[in-house]
Amino acid sequence: MRLAGLYVITDSQVRDPLETARLVLQGGGRIVQLREKHMTTRQLVRIGQALRTLTREYGALLIVNDRLDVALAVEADGVHLGQDDLPAALARKIAGDRFIIGVSAETVEEARRAEADGATYLGVGPMFATATKPDAGAPVGPERLRLIKQAVAIPVFGIGGIAPANARAVLEAGADGVCVISAIVGAPDPRAATQTFIHLLSEVAREPLT
């Protein structure tokens, strides 16, 4: 499966991760990340195993945030690593060539280093102000994403504060997709919200380049 399009991240403080994933998958989403900072390892494994079963039913990808050990234990498709997590080069050595490794990046230098270390894709952000990650730095904006996209050959996703109203700017800057939390997890109807994003992604993809 090509790494592009809509990428949805769970948040159990807003909605149960399994419910989130089920509604997203029913709405057409095909990339789900398990991101739960406040869970124990056993809790992560239990939910990860259930998500693995669910995502396989839909032919979707499962990514685990931060925890390579949990990702491997539940047979996820990949892991997403921050700048303070396990280095991508070491994760690649442990997990092998086929494992998906995403890396967070805010600068061109971080993006190039991640690509050189074996990253499969980049999560660039925060694009806009976000309450989901209080420790996130100042918004980097679509223009920084454009520069990063021009500097690397791997897929680039915009993340942070993305909603239907501002996603177009991220996509027009060259993003291969958008990572979304609140605008879907916190929506009254996550399935409908997923479909809104997918429609927007398809619409932008069909527009001629200028």
Which one of 12, 22, 30, 35 is the catalytic residue? Answer: 35
Closest CA to 125 of 66, 64, 181: 181
Q: Is 12 a catalytic residue?
A: no
* Contact between residue 191 and residue 26 where contact means Cβ atoms under 8 Å apart: yes
Choose the catalytic residue: 52, 104, 144, 149: 104
Confirm if 194 and 8 have CB atoms less than 8 A apart.
Answer: yes
**CA pair distance 122, 128, nearest whole angstrom:** 17
User: Does the annotation mark 104 as catalytic?
Assistant: yes
Burial status of residue 202 (CB atoms within 10 A of its CB: 0-12, 13-18, 19 or more): exposed
202 is catalytic: no
- Give the active site residue among 133, 146, 168, 191: 133
Whether the bond between 126 and the residue before it is cis, its omega within 30 degrees of 0, is: yes
Residue type, 57: E
Contact call for residues 139 and 128 (beta carbons, < 8 A): yes
**Active site positions, annotated:** 35, 104, 133
